[in-house]
Amino acid sequence: MADIDTNNIYSQLGLANSQETNKKSNDELGQAEFLELMTSQLKFQDPLKPMENGDFLGQIAQFSTVSGINELNSAFNSMSTSFQSNQALQASTLVGRKVLAPSDTAYLADGKNISGSVDLKQPANQVTISITDSAGQLIHRQDLGIQQTGLVDFSWDGLDRNGNQMPVGNYRISAELNHGGEVSAGETLAVADVESVTLGKAGQDLTLSVTGLGDIGLSQIRKIL
Protein backbone atom coordinates (compact mmCIF):
# COMPACT_ATOMS: atom_id res chain seq x y z
CA MET A 1 0.00 0.00 0.00
CA ALA A 2 1.29 3.48 -0.84
CA ASP A 3 2.24 5.84 1.96
CA ILE A 4 -0.58 8.11 3.02
CA ASP A 5 -0.11 11.76 3.89
CA THR A 6 -2.48 12.00 6.85
CA ASN A 7 -2.26 15.81 6.92
CA ASN A 8 -3.40 15.90 3.28
CA ILE A 9 -6.22 13.46 4.10
CA TYR A 10 -7.40 15.61 7.01
CA SER A 11 -7.37 18.64 4.69
CA GLN A 12 -9.37 16.85 1.97
CA LEU A 13 -11.86 15.64 4.54
CA GLY A 14 -12.31 19.14 5.89
CA LEU A 15 -10.73 18.22 9.22
CA ALA A 16 -8.15 20.39 10.96
CA ASN A 17 -5.09 18.81 12.55
CA SER A 18 -5.99 17.68 16.10
CA GLN A 19 -2.98 19.48 17.59
CA GLU A 20 -4.15 22.79 16.09
CA THR A 21 -7.81 22.59 17.10
CA ASN A 22 -8.89 20.79 20.26
CA LYS A 23 -5.46 19.44 21.19
CA LYS A 24 -6.77 15.89 21.40
CA SER A 25 -4.25 13.19 22.08
CA ASN A 26 -2.92 11.55 18.90
CA ASP A 27 -4.07 8.15 20.11
CA GLU A 28 -7.71 9.23 20.55
CA LEU A 29 -10.03 8.31 17.69
CA GLY A 30 -13.79 8.59 17.63
CA GLN A 31 -16.27 6.78 15.41
CA ALA A 32 -16.59 9.59 12.86
CA GLU A 33 -12.82 10.04 12.50
CA PHE A 34 -12.28 6.28 12.19
CA LEU A 35 -14.84 5.91 9.41
CA GLU A 36 -13.48 8.94 7.56
CA LEU A 37 -9.95 7.62 7.72
CA MET A 38 -11.14 4.18 6.61
CA THR A 39 -12.89 5.72 3.61
CA SER A 40 -9.80 7.75 2.71
CA GLN A 41 -7.60 4.69 3.09
CA LEU A 42 -9.72 2.80 0.56
CA LYS A 43 -9.79 5.80 -1.77
CA PHE A 44 -6.02 6.35 -1.81
CA GLN A 45 -4.81 2.76 -1.68
CA ASP A 46 -2.63 1.43 -4.50
CA PRO A 47 -4.94 -0.23 -7.09
CA LEU A 48 -2.16 -2.77 -7.80
CA LYS A 49 -1.92 -3.66 -4.12
CA PRO A 50 -5.41 -3.35 -2.69
CA MET A 51 -6.00 -4.02 0.96
CA GLU A 52 -6.58 -7.68 1.70
CA ASN A 53 -10.08 -8.60 2.87
CA GLY A 54 -8.61 -10.02 6.06
CA ASP A 55 -6.82 -6.75 6.86
CA PHE A 56 -9.94 -4.74 6.17
CA LEU A 57 -12.14 -6.97 8.32
CA GLY A 58 -9.48 -6.96 11.03
CA GLN A 59 -9.58 -3.17 11.26
CA ILE A 60 -13.37 -3.21 11.44
CA ALA A 61 -13.22 -5.89 14.15
CA GLN A 62 -10.76 -3.80 16.17
CA PHE A 63 -13.02 -0.78 15.93
CA SER A 64 -16.07 -2.87 16.91
CA THR A 65 -14.17 -4.21 19.94
CA VAL A 66 -13.23 -0.70 21.11
CA SER A 67 -16.76 0.55 20.53
CA GLY A 68 -18.17 -2.43 22.42
CA ILE A 69 -15.85 -1.85 25.38
CA ASN A 70 -16.90 1.81 25.55
CA GLU A 71 -20.57 0.81 25.55
CA LEU A 72 -19.86 -1.82 28.24
CA ASN A 73 -18.08 0.76 30.41
CA SER A 74 -21.03 3.10 30.00
CA ALA A 75 -23.41 0.31 31.05
CA PHE A 76 -21.29 -0.51 34.10
CA ASN A 77 -21.20 3.16 35.12
CA SER A 78 -24.97 3.25 34.86
CA MET A 79 -25.29 0.10 36.96
CA SER A 80 -22.89 1.53 39.56
CA THR A 81 -25.02 4.67 39.88
CA SER A 82 -28.13 2.52 40.29
CA PHE A 83 -26.46 0.36 42.96
CA GLN A 84 -25.38 3.46 44.88
CA SER A 85 -28.94 4.81 44.79
CA ASN A 86 -30.28 1.51 46.11
CA GLN A 87 -27.54 1.47 48.75
CA ALA A 88 -28.53 4.95 49.91
CA LEU A 89 -32.18 3.90 50.14
CA GLN A 90 -31.31 0.81 52.18
CA ALA A 91 -28.98 2.82 54.42
CA SER A 92 -31.70 5.33 55.29
CA THR A 93 -33.82 2.54 56.82
CA LEU A 94 -31.03 1.54 59.23
CA VAL A 95 -30.88 4.80 61.18
CA GLY A 96 -32.63 4.35 64.54
CA ARG A 97 -32.59 0.56 64.26
CA LYS A 98 -30.74 -1.79 66.63
CA VAL A 99 -28.00 -4.06 65.31
CA LEU A 100 -26.00 -6.95 66.71
CA ALA A 101 -22.28 -6.58 66.08
CA PRO A 102 -19.08 -8.25 67.36
CA SER A 103 -17.77 -6.24 70.31
CA ASP A 104 -16.25 -6.70 73.76
CA THR A 105 -17.88 -3.48 74.96
CA ALA A 106 -21.49 -2.35 75.21
CA TYR A 107 -23.11 1.01 75.94
CA LEU A 108 -25.46 1.41 78.92
CA ALA A 109 -27.92 4.23 78.20
CA ASP A 110 -29.95 6.04 80.87
CA GLY A 111 -32.77 3.79 82.08
CA LYS A 112 -31.88 1.09 79.55
CA ASN A 113 -30.22 -2.30 79.70
CA ILE A 114 -27.32 -3.98 77.92
CA SER A 115 -28.02 -6.98 75.73
CA GLY A 116 -26.01 -9.10 73.37
CA SER A 117 -25.06 -12.62 72.39
CA VAL A 118 -22.26 -15.14 72.66
CA ASP A 119 -21.31 -16.96 69.46
CA LEU A 120 -20.70 -20.62 70.28
CA LYS A 121 -18.76 -22.63 67.69
CA GLN A 122 -19.51 -25.82 69.63
CA PRO A 123 -21.75 -26.83 72.56
CA ALA A 124 -20.62 -25.74 76.05
CA ASN A 125 -21.31 -27.31 79.43
CA GLN A 126 -21.48 -23.85 80.96
CA VAL A 127 -21.48 -20.28 79.62
CA THR A 128 -20.76 -17.40 81.99
CA ILE A 129 -21.07 -13.69 81.17
CA SER A 130 -19.04 -11.09 83.08
CA ILE A 131 -19.55 -7.32 82.90
CA THR A 132 -16.90 -4.95 84.23
CA ASP A 133 -16.61 -1.16 84.37
CA SER A 134 -13.87 1.03 82.88
CA ALA A 135 -11.68 0.40 85.97
CA GLY A 136 -11.93 -3.37 85.48
CA GLN A 137 -14.16 -3.90 88.52
CA LEU A 138 -16.65 -6.77 88.21
CA ILE A 139 -20.18 -5.35 88.16
CA HIS A 140 -22.31 -8.28 87.06
CA ARG A 141 -21.87 -12.00 86.49
CA GLN A 142 -24.47 -14.22 84.84
CA ASP A 143 -24.51 -18.01 84.41
CA LEU A 144 -26.29 -19.12 81.22
CA GLY A 145 -25.83 -22.84 81.90
CA ILE A 146 -25.52 -25.51 79.21
CA GLN A 147 -25.80 -24.13 75.68
CA GLN A 148 -25.73 -25.53 72.14
CA THR A 149 -23.90 -24.24 69.07
CA GLY A 150 -25.05 -20.85 67.77
CA LEU A 151 -25.91 -17.45 69.21
CA VAL A 152 -26.76 -17.44 72.93
CA ASP A 153 -28.55 -14.26 74.05
CA PHE A 154 -27.99 -12.46 77.35
CA SER A 155 -29.21 -9.25 78.98
CA TRP A 156 -28.17 -7.07 81.92
CA ASP A 157 -30.56 -4.60 83.56
CA GLY A 158 -27.83 -2.10 84.47
CA LEU A 159 -27.88 -2.85 88.21
CA ASP A 160 -24.86 -3.92 90.23
CA ARG A 161 -24.86 -6.88 92.64
CA ASN A 162 -26.36 -4.66 95.38
CA GLY A 163 -29.22 -3.49 93.14
CA ASN A 164 -27.78 -0.02 92.50
CA GLN A 165 -28.22 1.59 89.08
CA MET A 166 -24.88 1.92 87.29
CA PRO A 167 -23.99 5.16 85.49
CA VAL A 168 -24.35 5.68 81.75
CA GLY A 169 -21.31 4.64 79.75
CA ASN A 170 -19.40 1.80 78.14
CA TYR A 171 -18.94 -1.52 79.93
CA ARG A 172 -16.76 -4.45 79.00
CA ILE A 173 -18.46 -7.78 78.35
CA SER A 174 -16.71 -11.15 78.27
CA ALA A 175 -17.79 -14.77 77.97
CA GLU A 176 -16.25 -17.80 79.64
CA LEU A 177 -16.96 -21.18 78.06
CA ASN A 178 -16.53 -24.49 79.84
CA HIS A 179 -16.12 -27.56 77.61
CA GLY A 180 -15.85 -30.55 79.93
CA GLY A 181 -13.35 -28.92 82.26
CA GLU A 182 -11.54 -26.98 79.53
CA VAL A 183 -12.21 -23.23 79.84
CA SER A 184 -11.93 -20.79 76.94
CA ALA A 185 -13.09 -17.29 76.00
CA GLY A 186 -16.12 -16.88 73.77
CA GLU A 187 -16.86 -14.29 71.08
CA THR A 188 -19.26 -11.64 72.36
CA LEU A 189 -21.63 -9.47 70.35
CA ALA A 190 -23.46 -6.37 71.57
CA VAL A 191 -26.79 -4.84 70.63
CA ALA A 192 -26.48 -1.13 69.83
CA ASP A 193 -28.39 1.71 68.13
CA VAL A 194 -27.47 2.97 64.67
CA GLU A 195 -27.00 6.74 64.78
CA SER A 196 -25.99 7.41 61.18
CA VAL A 197 -24.81 5.70 58.01
CA THR A 198 -21.95 6.69 55.73
CA LEU A 199 -22.20 5.59 52.11
CA GLY A 200 -19.10 3.94 50.71
CA LYS A 201 -17.72 4.65 47.26
CA ALA A 202 -18.48 2.22 44.44
CA GLY A 203 -17.68 -1.28 45.60
CA GLN A 204 -17.02 -0.23 49.20
CA ASP A 205 -18.95 -1.18 52.31
CA LEU A 206 -21.46 0.99 54.15
CA THR A 207 -20.20 2.29 57.49
CA LEU A 208 -22.57 2.45 60.44
CA SER A 209 -22.00 4.86 63.32
CA VAL A 210 -23.20 2.85 66.34
CA THR A 211 -23.80 4.20 69.84
CA GLY A 212 -20.89 3.38 72.12
CA LEU A 213 -19.13 1.23 69.52
CA GLY A 214 -18.06 3.79 66.93
CA ASP A 215 -17.93 3.02 63.21
CA ILE A 216 -18.68 -0.51 62.03
CA GLY A 217 -18.82 -1.86 58.48
CA LEU A 218 -22.20 -3.20 57.37
CA SER A 219 -20.60 -6.54 56.50
CA GLN A 220 -19.69 -6.99 60.20
CA ILE A 221 -23.30 -6.71 61.37
CA ARG A 222 -24.68 -10.09 62.41
CA LYS A 223 -28.30 -9.06 62.86
CA ILE A 224 -30.56 -6.08 62.24
CA LEU A 225 -33.17 -6.07 65.00
Q: What is the full per-residue pLDDT of the chain (225 aa) written as tens digits?
A: 445 555 554 455 445 554 444 544 455 555 666 667 666 666 656 555 555 555 655 666 665 565 566 666 666 566 555 666 666 676 778 888 999 999 999 999 988 999 999 999 999 999 999 999 999 999 999 999 999 999 999 999 999 988 999 999 999 999 999 988 889 999 999 999 999 988 766 556 778 899 988 999 888 999 988
Termini Cα distance of the chain: 73
Distance CA 90, CA 165 (A): 37
80 & 114 share domain: no
**Quick one: which of 207, 210, 206 has its CA closest to 195?**
210
DSSP structure class, residue 10: H
Range of the domain at 150: 98-191
What's the total number of domains in the chain? 2
Please list, in sequence order, all residues whose beta carbon lies within 8 angstroms of the beta carbon of residue 213, skipping any fewer than 6 positions away. 101, 103, 105, 107, 190, 192
Residue 154 belongs to domain with CATH number: 2.60.40.4070
Helix (H, G, I), strand (E, B) or coil at 80: helix
Last residue of a domain, one of 92, 125, 144: 92
